[in-house]
Amino acid sequence: MIEINFLRQRNLICTPTNRQISCRLSRLSSMPYIMTPLYIRSVVLSGYHHSLKENIIAILTGTFIVAQGVFFLQQADLLTGGTTGLALLVSQFVDLSFGQLYFLMNCPFYLMAWFRMGKSFAITSVISGGLVSIITDNLHHVLEISRLEPLYCALIGGLLMGLGMLILFRHKTSLGGFNVLVLFLQEKMGWSAGKLQMGIDITILVASFFLVSPMVLMFSVVGAFMLNLVLAMNHKPGRYSGELKPQAG
C-alpha cells in the first residue's frame, strides 16, 4: 500500500495501467533490493512503451497525414523547410518526382540514424520516409484540386505536416532528413525539436529567395511557420519520453 500511495500521489497510477503496476510491484517484492520511491518510479516508467500494433498504426497514420500536407504545398507550387522543401524545389527543375528526390536526399540521414539513434529508429524512419514518398507521388490518382488558394494551401499543408510529424515523433520515429538531426539534439542536449526545425526551415527558405517569386516565398514561410508551431507547442523535451528529472530536496 505504501508503494501504491506513492504512485497515486505522483500521478503515476494511470501510466501504465493499474494491473501492470501491480504485476511489476509484486515481482519486485521478491527481489533483494531496497524499494525506494525513486526505484519504484523508474521501474514503472521504464515499462511505459507503445505496443507494436500502436506503432504500426501511428506510422501509417502519420505518414498519410504528412503526405496530404505535402500534396497541398505541391499543388500550389509552395515550398517548406527540410529535405521536403529541398525535394519540392529541385523537382521543379529535374525530371524526377518529389518522392524519388525526397527518398534519395534522406538516405544520408538514415545512415546517421542507424549509427547515432539506433537500428530500430533508423528502420522505422526509412519505412516512414518511403511511405511518404509513395503516397505523395500517387495522391493525384485519387485527389484532384480544381481551385487553389495559396494561403489556404500553405496553412493546411503546414498544419497537416506538423500533425503527422508529431504522431511519428511520439512513437520514436521520424521521416529522416533534418528530423533525425533535431531529434538527436533534443535527446542529447535537451533542445526543442520544433525550434531547431524552425531555424533550419527558415534558412532553407531564405536560400531559395532567388529561385522562386516573392509571393511564393511568403506563402511558403507561412506554411513552414505553421508546421513548426505545431511541433514547438506539442513536442517538448522530456514531456513524453518518460525521462525523470531531478527532484528538489
C-alpha dist (Å) from residue 105 to 51, 60, 86, 135: 30, 21, 8, 17
Domain spans of the chain? 2-41, 52-234
DSSP 128: H
Please tell me whether the overall predicted TM-score, pTM, comes out greater than 0.75 for this model. Answer: no
C-alpha dist (Å) from residue 6 to 32, 36, 44, 65, 202: 20, 10, 12, 40, 46
pLDDT in tens, the chain (249 residues): 444 444 444 444 444 555 555 555 454 444 444 434 433 333 333 445 789 999 999 999 999 999 999 999 999 999 988 899 989 989 988 999 999 999 999 999 999 989 888 899 899 999 999 999 999 999 999 998 888 899 999 999 999 999 999 999 888 888 888 878 887 888 888 888 768 877 887 788 888 888 889 999 999 989 988 988 898 888 765 665 444 444 444
- In this structure, the number of other CB atoms found within 10 A of the CB of residue 241 comes to 16
Would you say 161 and 179 are in contact if contact means Cβ atoms under 8 Å apart?
no
Here the cell at position 12 is 503515476
Cα angle 90, 96, 98 (rounded to 5 degrees) comes to: 65
- Those residues whose C-beta lies under 8 Å from the C-beta of residue 91, and which sit 6 or more positions away, are 97, 98, 101
